[in-house]
């Protein structure tokens, strides 16, 4: 992976649930959806030669909503672009290497997806990633603010609880901040929750939908099992174990790879789902919902929070509330808020230095 040089390349189901603050409209299934006719859509992937960037770029090359796929990294991106260009889909693939070519990657982009950074390794927490990835995100978002100020920016680079606030401060300083157009990609938490719950209860995966709220690290990840569709029941011990597994699923992958990487393939899948939903929203597709870490008033005192959002032509068209939580979820929310707020503030302080 390129980014041992401490520069670039780190590592959905919809999240509609029951008893939400707004009508629980489920994300339209692919079978029910008609593919809208759209104008040219340029998508830029920053960190495209990394462990997440490569499979993510492949999935986007297969997306009919994308017209041009601009791949950026500090090295080896031309090889990735050449490889992808041989796939017989009509998406045009272009390659950009290094700071001097970053403007070309961003110019005209409507969606910028940032998986840039270094991945987690065994024993490394998301906080350990901060000093490296925070600087990478700050630099890339600064460039996006200059060269594609109206683009939707989706942050994958961990720790998301801090990197999204960094991006917001950078955009504010540049005078182009639009909270509707900045999202932290937490879709992977929903993908994992859906998978684990369907396996535990023997359900058809396509029918399972578990909203996941809060943040994107450890105890800040809060699956709302009480709002799962279809309705499922867990004993206290089962609920606690399931919640802990969803929260620690990233570590499960890091340890299984034994130093060879982190959750790259599942993260690429989740990011591609989020990108597709965003592009559908831009195209005017109604009733597109995902969970994302956004500028939010869902929880008093937390300026950013992951919850269900509706996507539309302007990006995030609506941030939905948490709905009715059970006693376990209320306690978990109260327990995680101090840590989530501290991680958000850490990002804000870094950006303001």
Binding positions are 47-53, 73, 120, 126, 133, 156-158, 192, 267
Nearest-10 crossing angle of helices 236-247, 187-201: 140
For 344, the enclosing helix (H) or strand (E) is helix 327-352
How far is residue 122's CA from residue 335's CA, in Å, rounded to a whole number? Answer: 26
How far is residue 197's CA from residue 250's CA, in Å, rounded to a whole number? Answer: 16
Q: Which residues are annotated as a binding site for substrate?
A: 120, 126, 158, 192
What is the number of residues in the chain?
A: 353
* Cβ atoms 253, 266 nearer than 8 A: yes
Helices (H), 73-232: 77-85, 102-106, 130-147, 160-173, 187-201
DSSP state of 159: P
- CA–CA distance from 78 to each of 2, 96, 111 (Å)? 13, 7, 21
How far is residue 211's CA from residue 153's CA, in Å, rounded to a whole number? Answer: 22
Active site residues: 216
């Amino acid at each position: 992976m390129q980014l041992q040089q401490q520069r670039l390349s780190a590592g959905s189901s919809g999240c509609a649930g029951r008893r939400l603050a707004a009508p629980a409209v489920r994300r339209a299934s692919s079978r029910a959806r008609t593919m809208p006719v759209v104008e040219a859509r340029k998508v830029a992937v920053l960190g495209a030669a990394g462990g997440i960037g490569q499979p993510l770029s492949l999935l986007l090359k297969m997306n009919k909503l994308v017209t041009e796929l601009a791949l950026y990294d500090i090295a080896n991106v031309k090889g990735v672009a050449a490889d992808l260009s041989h796939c017989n889909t009509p998406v045009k693939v272009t390659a950009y290497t290094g700071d001097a070519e970053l403007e070309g990657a961003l110019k005209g982009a409507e969606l910028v997806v940032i998986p840039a950074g270094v991945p987690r390794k065994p024993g490394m927490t998301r906080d350990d990633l901060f000093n490296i990835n925070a600087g990478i995100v700050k630099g890339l978002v600064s460039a996006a603010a200059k060269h594609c100020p109206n683009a939707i920016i989706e942050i994958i680079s961990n720790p998301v609880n801090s990197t999204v606030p960094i991006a917001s401060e950078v955009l504010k300083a540049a005078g182009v901040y639009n909270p509707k157009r900045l999202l932290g990609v937490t879709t992977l938490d929903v993908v994992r929750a859906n998978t684990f719950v369907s396996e535990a209860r023997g359900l058809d995966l396509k029918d399972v939908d578990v909203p996941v709220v809060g943040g994107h690290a450890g105890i800040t990840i809060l699956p709302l099992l009480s709002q799962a569709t279809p309705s499922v029941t867990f004993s206290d011990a089962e609920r606690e174990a399931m919640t802990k597994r969803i929260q620690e699923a990233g570590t499960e992958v890091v340890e299984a790879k034994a130093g060879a990487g982190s959750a790259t393939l599942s993260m690429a899948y989740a990011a591609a789902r989020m990108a597709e939903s965003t592009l559908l929203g831009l195209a005017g597709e109604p009733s597109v919902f995902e969970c994302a870490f956004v500028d939010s008033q869902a929880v008093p005192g937390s300026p950013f929070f992951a919850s269900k959002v509706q996507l539309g032509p302007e990006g995030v068209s609506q941030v939905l509330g948490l709905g009715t939580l059970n006693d376990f979820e209320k306690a978990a929310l109260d327990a995680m808020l101090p840590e989530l707020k501290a991680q958000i503030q850490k990002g804000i302080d870094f950006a303001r230095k």
